[in-house]
Amino acid sequence: MDRKIIELYDEYTHAPLDRRIFISRLTALAGSAAAAAALLPLLESNYALAQVVPPTDARLETSRVTWPGSSGDLKGYLARPKGAGKLPAVIVIHENRGLNPHIEDVVRRVALEGFLALGPDMLSPLGGTPADEDQARTLIGQLDGKQTLDNLVRTVGFLRNHAESTGKVGAMGFCWGGGMAGTLATASPDLDASVVYYGRTPPLDVVPNIRAKLLLNYAGLDDRINESVPAFEAALKKADVDYTLHMYQGANHAFNNDTAPARYDAAAAQLAWTRTIDFLKTSLGG
C-alpha cells in the first residue's frame, strides 16, 4: 500500500484527524470514493481477525475484575491458565482504542504462555472503553496524564499482591500503551520488566529512575516514534539500564496488530512476540 496512505491513517489515528477530513484526503490519494471505500477495510480494525484464542478456550480461566485506582475503581480483564498455581503477572496495556476485543485476545495469548495476564481499561475513570473507536481515541486524549500513570502504578501493586501471583510483575504495551509501558518503568520501582511496542519514549530526565528490565520493539518505517529513540537509548546507556532494543526494518507502526491488514507484518509480529515471551519468562520466572 502507498506509504502516503499509511501515513495519512497514522495521522488520523494519532493526531487525531477529523474523520471527514481523513476520508476526503484518502479519496484524493486513492483516486475515487470507490477506491477509498475499498481501502478502508484494510486500514481499520476487523475484530473478527483478532480471535486467535477464543474467550471460551477451555485451557483458560477469565474474569472481569476491579481494583482501587486513584479516583475510583479500575476495571480490567484477567486471564490465567486453568488449574495453575501462582504465576508471574503481566499487565497488557492497550492502544489508544481502549480495552477492545483485540487487546482482550492478546491478554488470553499472554495467559496461555504461563502468566497471570491483566488488561486494564485505562478509560475506567471516563466510564470505560466505548465500542466506537473514534470516541475511544477522543477519550484517551481527555485522560489526566498524572492520574493515568498513578493508576498503572496501582495496577502493579494489585498484581504484586494478588493471591494468584508470585509477586513478580511485568508490563507490555502497544502504541499508546507502549508509551505507557515505558513511562510506567520510570514510575514504579516494583515493576520487574517492561516491553514497549512502538510507543513514545518517556521524558529523558526520569530515565535514571528505571529499575525494570526493558525490551523495546520499534518499527523501521515509524518515523514519528523513531525520531526520539536515539536520545532515549543514549539516556538508557548513561543510566546503565538493562535494556534490549530491536528495530524491525520494513515494518510499519502497529505491525503487531493482526486486525489491521495494511500495517500488520506477520514476520515482524511473530519474531517480536517470541522475543517478548522469552524476555518475560527470563525476567519474571515461570
CA 113/CA 99 separation, integer angstroms? 20
User: Does the pLDDT of residue 286 top 70, yes or no?
Assistant: no
Residue in 40, 131, 110 with CA at minimum distance from that of residue 284: 110
Average pLDDT value for residue range 15-39: 74
For residue 189, which phi and psi values (nearest 5 degrees)? Answer: -70, -10
Decide: residue 96, CB within 10 A, 0-12 exposed, 13-18 middle, 19+ buried: buried
User: Residue 200 has which C-alpha cell?
Assistant: 513514545
Amino acid letter at 243?
A: Y
Out of 48-57, 120-129, 154-163, 254-263, least confident range: 48-57
- Partners of 119 in beta bridges: 77
CA 229/CA 100 separation, integer angstroms? 28
Mean pLDDT over each residue of the chain, to the nearest integer: 92
A 10 A CB-CB count for 220 gives: 15
Residue in 114, 77, 84 with CA at minimum distance from that of residue 98: 77
What's the CATH number for 49-284?
3.40.50.1820
Amino acid letter at 107?
A: V
More confident residue, 52 or 110: 110
Compute the residue count for the chain.
286
* Boundaries of every domain in the chain: 3-43, 49-284
What pLDDT, in 10s, does the model give residues 196-243? 999 999 999 999 999 999 999 999 999 999 999 999 999 999 999 999
Out of 3-7, 128-132, 187-191, 201-205, least confident range: 3-7
Measured at the CA of 173, the angle between CA 232 and CA 169, to 5 degrees, comes to 95
- DSSP letter at 202 equals P
Decide: residue 109, CB within 10 A, 0-12 exposed, 13-18 middle, 19+ buried: middle
Under 8 Å between Cβ of 175 and 254 = yes
Give me the pLDDT at residue 71, please. Answer: 87
Report if pTM > 0.85.
yes
- DSSP letter at 230 equals H
Is beta strand 213-219 parallel, antiparallel or unpaired with respect to 243-248? parallel
Residue 23 banded pLDDT, cuts 50, 70, 90: confident
DSSP states along 41-59:
HHHS--GGGT-SS-TT-TT
Q: Hey, is 229 helix, strand or coil?
A: helix
User: Does the pLDDT of residue 13 top 80, yes or no?
Assistant: no
Spatial neighbors of 85 by CB under 8 A, at least 6 apart, are none
